[in-house]
Structure formats: structure tokens, C-alpha cells
């Protein structure tokens, strides 16, 4: 047995267990369905809350919102979105070294559920007391439940999100032809949940914002129940590391102690914040966080490359992950405008009246998922057909196509913003067409990125490399929130600048796509036998 295999213990199961033995469903392991529905409900909770988040923060206090300005709301949205994915790195590390993938998903789901119900607390109290009238000012319960709920969701998602994707990769042998198809099916689960959630949660939010947050928590609870009932189909994968000697046991115990110390420090900081001893400025924090993330990412990649004990081929593959990290961040900085500036555009500058009924702005958050469900099978079939003719583009080229398509979508928004800046309401079709191009870009990049990361990652860094994939989304999400603060059109000046803000995204996305096309061949050589 190789040293790496000893270190991993039962973390990775033998190939025969994964694909050649046990129950199958439509040619795939039944465990894929367990993960499909768990992720579907987790994404229901995430996208249901996300559809409401920036609208809730910017809504007047009298209507039950927080009454924050656009800059503060955009910064909080960006920091939250960043933190959700940022904590994927320590979440992957904890899974790789301590809990194992399956337990990390379970505990993460529990914490997410508690977070959503915490955000729903003011609404639940209103139901009990019967007090749903207009508010004149925010209470401590309003603020503390909101921020504490966000923090719990961040922690829970950090444990769940990278590790459930890693389990999908472990269901198949390394070179299985079914792996990409398995990830495509898994990705469909994400979008089924993301389609239903904004409509359901936005409908409840008409009556009370917090009831919408509560419904999101109920979704995650359903996911936990399903995960526990069907967990037997994940036997042999995602188990914790089994220390083989006294030294490894000692190292594991030290790691556990370190985690507890870190949790204590976080608790102290939160206590100081809630006691108003420590003042936190979201806008200022967001302004410096990009640099911090970039430094963390660089240090991690350098550590893995030079101190990770990798061979030459593994180092080349890690270098590819590092390069694609940059382009992935650029993509998500534009794509994640969906929940922030595009969500506010739907609310403020889009004609949403149909037959006398005003469609909730949050409904537009389901459009991307509808298109994913419609076109994901087409994209999957297209790649297969091209592969049979030896015409399938390499993964770097697919990344490049995704960036260019993102840029085209924002070119559409440039013209929609011109209409809004002129004082007219834009037709819903502008947002629909934008989301269509963004969906094509997402289908070209996101499933490919998930699958490619599991293929390129060294065995003992699988969870952490998946964490780095989500860290690139974190960086992009933070940038998206900062852009949204200035591109939301909340003031006359911001409205006048909105077309230029969208055109800047066009230049950035298309330019990055062209650069990636030019360097695709050298990157492909570094990938070795991975396509």
C-alpha cells in the first residue's frame, strides 16, 4: 500500500465498490441520488434566501426590511456570498483530516438549518404575538437574528458544499466515462432546488420576509431527513481518516484541539460584535477582503506545490488549477450579479405587472435555473457528440467560452440600463435574454470546473482542492457585491453610471475569455492525460 493510501484510510473506497458492485440506478450508483436530493434541498435553502437577501436589506423598515443603503447592502451581500464559499477551504480541510466527507455534510446541514430558522425568528415571534404591523425602528432581535443567521449559514455551507461534491467524484473510478455524466445529473439537482425556491420563498415574503427565510430552513431540514434515510447507498465512500499508528492519532488530536481553539476565538469576536464593543464596517471590510483572499489562495497553492510532497505530474496539474482559479473568479464576479444588482434591477427598473398583478422581483431568480434544466441535457449531448468526432473543446476552451458568453449577457444589460437611465421601465425580456446567455456561460464553465477539479487534485488534497474551486467563487462573489453597491441605481448618480458599470463587466469578461483562448494549448499540455 502506498503512503498516500495509508494516509487516506477509508476516505476513498476501492474502485470495485464504487462502480462495479452494489445497487445501480440508470447506470449510476444509487448514492448519486442520495447526493442529488441532499444538494437539491440545500440549494433550495440557499437560493430561496438569496432571492430575498438584498431586497430585504434595502427594503424600508416600515415594510419589514432593514432599511440599509445600497453600498452597505451590497457589501454585506458580497461578504456573505464570499464567506459561504471561503469557508469551503477549511470545510474541505476538516473533512480530509478529521470528520470525513459524509459527517461534514451531515453536520453542515444541521448548522445551515439552524441559521435559516434563526433568520426567521422575528417572523415566528410576530406569528405568535399577532403583530405584523408596520415597524418604526429596528429592534435588537431584528439585527441579531439576521446577522447570527447569516453566520450560521456560512459555517454550515462551508462544511457541506465542497464535501458533497467530493463524494460525487468518489462514487466513480478515476478514469470512469460516467463521471462527467454523474456530475451533470448532480448539477441538475442544484437547479431543481434553485428553480423552486425563489418562487416559493418570494411568495411567502409578500406577507413577511422572515416567513420566506423560514421556508428556506424547512427545505434544508427535508434534505437532512432524506440524507439520513438513504445514507446506506454511500457505504464505502466519504468515511473519516483512520489513523494507523500513535503518531497519526496524536496529530489528529492536535488538529481537533486547533479547531476548538479557532471556534472559541470566533465566538469571542462575535460576542464583542453583538455587545457593540467591536465596531464592524461592512463596506471597509469588503474593500480589503479581495486582497486577503488573493494572498490566502496564493499561499495555499505555493504550499501544495513546494511542501505538499507531490510528484512532477501532480505539480503540473495543481498549476492548472491555480491558473483556472483566476479565470473562474472573473466569471463569478459577473455571474453573481444575479442575486445583487440584477435582482435590484428587476425590483426597481423592470415592468413586472402582468394582468394587474405585480410579479415579485425574486421570481426572476428562477429564470437561470429554468434555462439550466432546459439546456443542460443539450450541452451534455453536444460535448459527447463532439468528442465522438474528436472535436470536443478542451476544458480551458470551455472556460473561455463561458467568459465570452457572460460578457454578451452583460452587453444586453448595458442597453437595458440605458433604458432605465432615460427614466423608462425596461421590459422583462432584457433580463430573460441576459440570464439566457449567462446560463450558456455557466453550462460551459461550472460543471466542467467541478469535474476537472476532482480529476486534477492530488488524492490527499481532494477536499481542499474542491475548497479552492469554491474559493474562486468566493472572490468573484465579493467583487460582485462591491459592484452591486455602485451599480444598483439607488441614487441618480448611480443610475447614470449603471450602463458604464455593465459595459466594464463586458470588457473584463470578454477580454479574459480571449486571453484564455490564446493560452489554452499550453495549459492543455500541463494537464497531461486529463482532458
**CA-to-CA distance for 495 and 420, rounded, in angstroms?**
8
Contact 362, 343 (CB under 8 A): yes
What pLDDT score was predicted for residue 21?
43
- The closest alpha carbon to 429, from 412, 442, 408, belongs to 412
Q: Could you give phi then psi for residue 529, rounded to 5 degrees? A: -85, 5
> Which CATH number goes with the domain that contains 164?
1.20.1250.20
Tell me the C-alpha distance between 487 and 336, whole Å: 13
More confident residue, 108 or 178: 108
What is residue 4's predicted lDDT score, i.e. its pLDDT?
32
| Number of neighbours of residue 177 by Cβ within 10 angstroms | 9
> Is residue 246 assigned to a domain?
no
Answer with the residue of higher pLDDT: 114 or 18.
114
- Mean per-residue pLDDT for 308-314? 81
* Number of structural domains in the chain: 1
Q: Are 145 and 119 in contact (CB under 8 A)?
A: yes
pLDDT band at 348 (very low <50, low <70, confident <90, very high): very high
pLDDT, tens only, 204-251? 998 889 899 999 999 999 999 999 998 788 877 767 766 667 766 676
User: pLDDT digits over 505-531, tens only?
Assistant: 999 999 999 999 999 888 888 877 766
The average confidence (pLDDT) of the chain is 83
Q: How many residues does the chain have?
A: 531
pLDDT of residue 3: 36
Does any domain span residue 481? yes
CB 311 within 8 A of CB 387: no
Closest CA to 18 of 223, 229, 169, 210: 169
What residues pair up with 24 in beta bridges, in sequence order?
29
pLDDT at 330: 93
Q: Which domain holds residue 200?
A: 28-241+281-526
Residue 6 lies in a domain: no
Q: Is 258 among the domain residues?
A: no
| Angular region, 22: left φ>0, alpha ψ -120 to 50, beta rest | left
Rounded Cα distance, 429 and 367, in Å: 11
**What is the predicted pLDDT for the residue at 134?**
62
The verdict on residue 149 lying in a domain is yes
Residue with the three cell numbers 464593543: 277
Task: Round to whole Å and give the CA distance between 51 and 39.
Answer: 18
For the chain, what percent of residues have pLDDT higher than 90?
32
| Per-residue pLDDT band at 41 (split at 50, 70, 90) | very high
Residues with Cβ within 8 Å of residue 286, at least 6 apart in sequence: 75, 78, 79, 478, 481, 482
pLDDT score of 318 more than 50: yes
With beta carbons less than 8 A apart as the criterion, state whether 164 and 183 touch.
Answer: no
Going from the C-alpha of 316 to that of each of 27, 128, 283, 303, 313, the distances in angstroms are 33, 60, 38, 14, 5
pLDDT at 370 over 70: yes
Q: Would you place residue 22 in the very low, low, confident or very high pLDDT band (cuts 50, 70, 90)?
A: very low
Give 487: exposed, middle or buried? Use CB within 10 Å, 0-12, 13-18, 19+: buried
- pLDDT-derived band at 32 (thresholds 50, 70, 90) equals confident
What's the predicted TM-score (pTM) here?
0.82
CB 484 within 8 A of CB 72: no
* Grid cell locating 436: 439566457
Asked if residue 335 is part of any domain, the answer here is yes
In the structure, what pLDDT confidence band is assigned to residue 24 with cuts at 50, 70 and 90?
A: low
Question: What percentage of residues in the chain have a pLDDT greater than 70?
Answer: 88
Residue 23 resides in a domain: no
Q: Rounded distance, CA 123 to CA 487, Å?
A: 31
Instruction: Please identify which residue in the block is written with the cell numbers 458599470.
Output: 501
**Burial environment of residue 354 by CB neighbours within 10 A (0 to 12, 13 to 18, 19 or more):** exposed
Q: Does residue 58 lie within any of the structural domains?
A: yes
Confidence class for position 177, pLDDT limits 50, 70, 90: low
Q: What is the pLDDT of residue 6?
A: 28
Q: Hey, which residues does 357 pair with through a beta bridge? A: 354
The model's pLDDT over 100-126, given as tens digits with 9 standing for 90+, comes to: 888 889 999 999 999 999 999 888 777
Q: What is the DSSP letter of 352?
A: -
Amino acid at each position: 500500500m502506498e503512503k498516500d493510501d495509508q494516509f487516506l484510510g477509508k476516505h476513498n473506497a476501492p474502485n470495485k465498490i464504487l462502480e462495479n458492485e452494489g445497487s445501480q440506478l440508470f447506470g449510476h450508483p444509487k448514492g448519486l441520488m442520495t447526493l442529488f436530493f441532499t444538494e437539491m434541498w440545500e440549494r433550495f435553502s440557499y437560493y430561496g434566501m438569496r432571492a430575498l437577501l438584498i431586497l430585504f436589506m434595502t427594503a424600508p423598515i416600515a415594510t419589514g426590511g432593514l432599511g440599509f443603503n445600497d453600498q452597505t447592502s451590497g457589501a454585506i451581500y458580497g461578504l456573505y456570498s464570499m464567506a459561504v464559499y471561503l469557508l469551503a477551504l477549511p470545510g474541505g480541510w476538516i473533512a480530509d483530516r478529521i470528520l470525513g466527507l459524509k459527517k461534514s455534510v451531515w453536520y453542515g446541514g444541521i448548522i445551515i438549518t439552524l441559521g435559516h430558522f434563526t433568520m426567521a425568528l422575528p417572523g415566528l415571534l410576530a406569528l405568535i404575538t399577532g403583530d405584523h404591523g408596520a415597524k418604526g425602528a429596528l429592534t435588537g432581535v431584528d439585527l441579531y437574528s439576521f446577522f447570527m443567521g447569516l453566520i450560521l449559514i456560512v459555517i454550515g455551507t462551508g462544511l457541506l458544499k465542497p464535501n458533497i461534491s467530493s463524494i460525487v467524484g468518489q462514487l466513480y473510478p478515476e478514469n470512469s466515462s460516467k463521471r462527467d455524466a454523474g456530475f451533470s445529473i448532480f448539477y441538475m439537482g442544484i437547479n431543481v432546488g434553485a428553480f423552486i425556491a425563489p418562487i416559493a420563498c418570494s411568495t411567502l415574503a409578500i406577507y413577511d420576509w422572515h416567513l420566506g427565510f423560514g421556508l428556506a430552513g424547512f427545505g434544508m431540514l427535508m434534505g437532512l431527513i432524506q440524507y439520513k434515510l438513504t445514507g446506506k447507498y454511500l457505504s464505502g465512500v466519504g468515511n473519516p481518516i483512520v489513523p494507523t499508528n500513535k503518531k497519526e492519532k496524536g496529530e489528529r488530536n492536535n488538529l481537533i484541539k486547533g479547531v476548538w481553539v479557532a471556534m472559541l476565538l470566533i465566538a469571542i469576536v462575535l460576542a464583542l460584535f453583538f455587545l457593540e464593543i467591536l465596531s464592524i464596517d461592512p463596506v471597509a471590510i469588503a474593500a480589503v477582503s479581495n486582497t486577503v483572499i488573493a494572498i490566502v489562495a496564493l499561499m495555499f497553492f505555493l504550499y501544495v506545490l513546494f511542501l505538499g510532497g507531490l510528484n512532477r505530474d501532480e505539480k503540473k496539474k495543481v498549476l492548472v488549477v491555480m491558473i483556472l482559479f483566476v479565470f473562474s473568479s472573473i466569471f463569478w464576479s459577473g455571474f453573481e450579479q444575479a442575486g445583487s444588482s440584477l435582482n435590484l434591477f428587476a425590483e426597481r427598473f423592470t415592468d413586472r405587472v402582468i394582468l394587474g398583478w405585480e410579479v415579485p422581483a425574486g421570481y426572476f431568480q428562477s429564470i437561470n435555473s429554468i434555462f439550466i434544466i432546459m439546456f443542460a441535457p443539450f450541452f451534455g449531448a453536444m460535448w459527447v457528440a463532439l468528442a465522438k468526432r474528436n472535436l470536443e473543446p478542451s476544458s480551458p476552451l470551455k472556460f473561455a467560452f463561458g467568459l465570452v458568453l457572460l460578457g454578451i449577457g452583460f452587453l444586453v444589460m448595458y442597453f437595458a440600463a440605458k433604458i432605465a437611465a432615460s427614466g423608462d421601465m425596461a421590459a422583462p425580456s432584457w433580463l430573460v435574454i441576459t440570464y439566457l446567455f449567462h446560463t450558456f456561460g455557466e453550462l460551459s464553465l461550472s460543471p466542467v470546473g467541478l469535474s476537472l477539479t476532482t480529476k486534477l487534485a492530488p488524492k490527499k488534497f481532494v477536499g481542499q482542492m474542491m475548497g479552492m474551486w469554491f474559493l474562486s467563487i468566493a472572490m468573484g462573489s465579493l467583487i460582485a457585491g462591491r459592484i452591486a453597491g455602485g451599480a444598483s441605481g439607488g441614487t441618480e448618480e448611480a443610475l447614470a453610471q449603471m450602463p458604464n458599470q455593465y459595459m466594464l463587466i463586458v470588457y473584463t469578461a470578454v477580454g479574459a475569455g480571449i486571453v484564455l483562448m490564446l493560452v489554452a494549448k499550453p495549459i492543455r499540455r500541463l494537464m497531461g492525460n486529463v482532458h
